Chain A
Amino acid sequence: MTEGCFVTSAARAESPSPIARRWPHVGLATKQAAFGYAILAPTLLILGIFRFLPMLEAFVISFTKYDLIHPAQFIGLGNFIDLVQDPLFRNSARVSIIYVVFSVLPVWPLSLGLAVLFNRSLMVKNVLRSAVFMPVVMPAVVMAVVWTFMYQQDGMLNTVLGWFGIDPIPWLRSSSTALPAVILIGIWRATPYYMVIFLAGLQAIPAEYYEAAEIDGAGAWSGFWNITLPLLRPTTLLVMVMTVIVAMKVFAVPLIMTGGGPSDSTRVLPLFIYQTAFEFFDMGRAAAMSMFLFAAVMLFSVAQIRIFTRGEQ
């Protein structure tokens, strides 16, 4: 064979065709991944511009003294050091922690309980579910205004308490009751939302597991403890992480209902950040507070995920 008429396999291996040289072989998995990224690209771009870029800018601003009007002035860790020593910041952090703990802890069992209830066959289940879900669809501002009226001396809550011979409580006007009043709204609004998430998780559990357990003589409580809870673990983790993140960011309700008072008893950290930025025009300090909040949320979320996944292992 002459090399002039034929291209031997050896020759082909040494010298691939021009087309093969331009286009390397791409596996199916890589193609699928690339397609996925292409689909995600617009969303990632929007997230990058409207979420991550502002976060990065806030991080940079946290090291400056900046009042919006004059150019920012670099001050290093000045804002962070000042905040750690600031009683107002420490108070806001304390109020936020109290809010998170007492608004989140009841939501977990309440939302799970409601989900278990609505997972059964109930009369007018759909109507009841819609009614229970109303707090979620109500705009936060409307909800805050309505509850402000309900908390008044002659509002609905005190009227009901009056039926039982209980004196009116100055819900929003006492530093000992204002925060519990705001927490109650947080629980009322969050419970139905997470009920829906738990419900989805419950409906994904095959009925056969419960049937098999029943055959083995397991009761309802045993079925819940040994089947429902373990299989709901991923959903529970999601609910736990989300409830904490959302509770840490609460803002509209204390802003509208109490403005952070009385006596700073409801000045949660997001509200204090807003006031520092847009009432005091101290953007550097506000940004530094945001970094503290961000770090707290990240630490907590990572810790929760680690605890849960370690348990699974």
Chain B
Amino acid sequence: MLAIVAMLYTQAAAAAPDNFPTEKLTIEIWWHEYGPFTSYVKELIEAYKKVRPNVTVIPTITSSADINQKLTVALATGTGPDIMDNDASFYSLYYTKGVLEPLNLDVFAARSYPEFIARYTPGGLEAATFEGKVYALPYQGNSMSLFINNRLFAAAGLDPVANAPKTWDDVIALGPKLKQVAGNRTVHKSFDFPYHSNRWEVQDFQPLVEQFGGKLLSDDGKTAAINSPAAVKALQLWVAVTKAGGDPRTTMNTPSNPNQDFVDARTAMYITGPWATPQIQASPAVGNDFTVVSLPQVNPAQPHTLVYGWMWGVNKAKPAAEKVAAWDFVRFMLAKPDEWLGKVGFVQPVLGVAQSDVARKFPFFDVHMKDVSTGSWYLRSEFTNEITQAIGRAIERVVYDGADPKASLDQAQAEVEKVLKR
């Protein structure tokens, strides 16, 4: 046990490279705004000053909706930061454009990339590895699991553990019992898919497609199967779940507050990540009165879930000394995965996290890790934005306009094929 916990600190215990720059350096770090995350990174910046007094870290914080644009424009004009933060699905694009610096093995006291990759859970660095080299490090590789509002379950005479849905058919069956309407006004829904952003729509849609045996995009990101029979079945199921769950048009979720409906008890069940836990615990409407269960399945014997995360990358265009310092600060930031979990709710896909005391105390951590173990990373492509928008539009055409699922997905497939040919 001690050995496992010690592994958690492998990165922190790694000796600083002998040739760490001694001159005064300034490095910039950009990240997306999320309350607990921002507070913790600022704490780390202060702590790093004591470790490396010659390095000044300058932060810039942007909304998650804007950081991709801001980063890409900055990288193109040579004004980007030393350390960038972005959704894991964008690193394919950045690797293709040649703006990423490979991980500095000396800084992490690793002899080779395979040795370094072995420090992570199987598949943990899949989204960060290109042609055998690691180009980014995830500070979160979260599952997407089903959160249940205990009070709403109890009010409907249900037990959040015994009556928790295991399959999508269970979710549909719970709809009439949990949904509450007053006339034509929705008081609260039984279940809510996200509609505030195309990326979140794909987050829930991708595992559904995989549960039906399909795949939206090939592993190399060059072939799409948006209108496969599995995808059509997934979208038909989506419609059935939505009809049972409640009016999707009443959502209060936004890109900045993607969990708002659940936090406000406007929905009894919602799919989100462990990072939502601090926000939910702080909400008066839910507090600690929630349960987390594994993502519902089409076939529980063959579970498919999703892994989703954000990663730190280092800018290739910066001077050598700054790049060393940048990787060193990333190493420093990621040295205590249990703090990331306890303070922010982010799960690093690194070995040993699950055995830490913080993990044991983190609500339903075993469920989150179980869903990570059966998860595929969110689809990754040079054209992630176009693909997610095409799929999101296809879903909205069906849900909002009553379009035929096959026809809508055919349209999305045509749009994506055109993009992939560019």
Contact = CB atoms under 8 A, between A and B. Distances in A.
* Chain B contact surface mostly: helix
A94 to B, nearest CB: 15
Contact of A69 (B76, B248, B397, B401): B76
Contacts of B415: 88
B185 interface: yes
Contacts of B93: 281
Contact of A70 (B77, B97, B185, B393): B97
Interface string B84-128: 000000000100011100000000000000000000000000000
A261 B72 contact: no
Given A170-B249, A173-B248, A173-B249, A278 B72 contact: yes
Interface in B382-422: 383, 385-386, 389, 392-393, 396-397, 400-401, 415, 422
Interface string A160-176: 00000001101001110
Given A153-B185, A168-B185, A173-B250, A263 B401 contact: yes
Contacts of B198: 261
A262 interface: yes
Contacts of B183: 167
B27 interface: no
A43 B393 CA distance: 44
B250 A170 contact: yes
Contacts of A282: 422
Interface string A60-73: 00000101111000
B250 A280 contact: no
Contact of B400 (A65, A152, A262, A281): A262
28 contacts: A68-B72, A68-B75, A68-B77, A69-B76, A69-B97, A69-B98, A69-B99, A70-B97, A152-B250, A154-B185, A167-B185, A168-B184, A170-B247, A173-B250, A173-B400, A174-B249, A259-B197, A261-B396, A262-B195, A263-B393, A263-B400, A263-B401, A278-B69, A279-B69, A279-B385, A280-B383, A280-B386, A282-B422
Interface string A131-175: 000000000000000000000111000000000000110100111
A170 B72 CA distance: 35
A192 B162 CA distance: 59
Contacts of B252: 152
Interface majority SS (helix, strand, loop, mixed), chain A: loop
Interface string B60-80: 000000001100110111000
Contact of B396 (A170, A263, A281): A263
Contacts of B99: 69
A159 B333 CA distance: 48
B385 A153 contact: no
Interface in A256-294: 259, 261-264, 275, 278-282
B251 A69 contact: no
Interface residues of A, number: 26
Given A261-B198, A263-B400, 19 more contacts: A67-B97, A68-B72, A68-B76, A69-B72, A153-B250, A167-B183, A167-B184, A168-B185, A173-B249, A173-B251, A173-B400, A175-B396, A261-B396, A263-B397, A263-B401, A264-B393, A278-B73, A279-B68, A280-B385
Given A153-B250, A167-B183, A280-B383, A175 B400 contact: yes
B186 A153 contact: yes
B249 A281 contact: no
A261 B199 CA distance: 13
A262 B403 CA distance: 13
Contacts of A154: 185
B100 to A, nearest CB: 12
B247 A281 contact: no
B238 to A, nearest CB: 15
Contacts of A69: 72, 75-76, 97-99
Nearest to A168: B185
Contacts of B97: 67, 69-70
Contacts of A175: 396, 400-401
Contacts of A275: 385, 389
Contacts of A152: 250, 252
A167 B183 CA distance: 8
Contacts of A259: 197
Contacts of A173: 195, 248-251, 400
Interface in A26-40: none
Interface string B183-218: 111100000000101100000000000000000000
The CB with the most chain B CB atoms within 10 A, among A67, A70, A88, A173, is that of: A173
Given A67-B97, A69-B97, A263-B400, A281 B72 contact: yes
3 nearest A-B residue pairs (beta carbon): A170-B249, A173-B249, A68-B76
A69 B197 CA distance: 27
A73 to B, nearest CB: 12
A264 B403 CA distance: 14
Contacts of B389: 275, 279
A170 B393 CA distance: 18
A67 B98 CA distance: 12
Contacts of B396: 175, 261-263
